[in-house]
Amino acid sequence: MNATTDAAGVRSAGAHRIALVLVVAVADNGVIGQGGRLPWRLKSELAYFRKVTMGKPIVMGRKTYLSIARPLPGRTNIVVSRDPTFAAPGIVAAPSLETALMTARGDALRRGVTEIAIIGGAGIYADTLALADRLLITRVHLRPAGDTMFPPIDPEVWKETERTGHQAGPGDEANFTVIGYERTGGGADRIG
């Protein structure tokens, strides 16, 4: 492997570069889930999530898919599951993360988009954080109980590039801030 391509073929040079973007809502205390569900209600943030993922391939784990309970429209839903019999209408099941990323890359090229959105859960985030090019973090200004956490964002690896605060609107339990991060340094160090 080298700086221009990983095992899943996601990175490539030139016009066909496809970025991996982790899209995640994280509470102020690092919680991203409780009992397989989001521990808050943020209608405004869901609209933002839809906007940044629409028209792109999205990769998620089986538990995340089951918590959503349906394919998300307007996106190719790629679900990673080690269960070889797992299938559901409207999704592409992948037996491994590598297969999911190769499938997502092909879909992104067909769609003419430059990003693959990684949307959870915790295991998928952990497995893709070292490969990611960008993070789109919605910082939810709550401190809920939870059993699923997002790792701290290392300032030696990630540079904040955007920050937009949002006041709680109708259907929102809390204020939130959308923060964009770009990876600092080259890809060779993390892909090697």
Distance CA 57, CA 181 (A): 20
Does the pLDDT value for residue 114 go beyond 90?
A: yes
Measuring CA to CA, which residue among 96, 116, 100, 126 is closest to residue 12?
A: 116
* pLDDT score, position 189: 36
Average pLDDT on 27-31 reads 97
Place of tokens 């570069």: 17
Mean pLDDT for the chain overall: 90
Question: Are 43 and 172 spatial neighbours (Cβ–Cβ below 8 Å)?
Answer: yes
* pLDDT score, position 17: 86
- pTM as predicted: 0.88
Distance CA 119, CA 155 (A): 22
Q: Where are the domains of the chain?
A: 18-23+42-80+92-104+127-148
Strand 115-118 with 19-27, pairing: parallel
> How does pLDDT run across 97-113, given as a tens digit for each residue?
999 999 999 999 999 99
Distance CA 141, CA 135 (A): 18
Does the pLDDT value for residue 147 go beyond 60?
A: yes
* pLDDT score, position 13: 39
Average pLDDT on 127-147 reads 97
**For 18-23+42-80+92-104+127-148, CATH number?**
3.40.430.10
> How does pLDDT run across 157-188, given as a tens digit for each residue?
999 999 999 999 999 999 999 999 999 964 43
* pLDDT score, position 90: 97
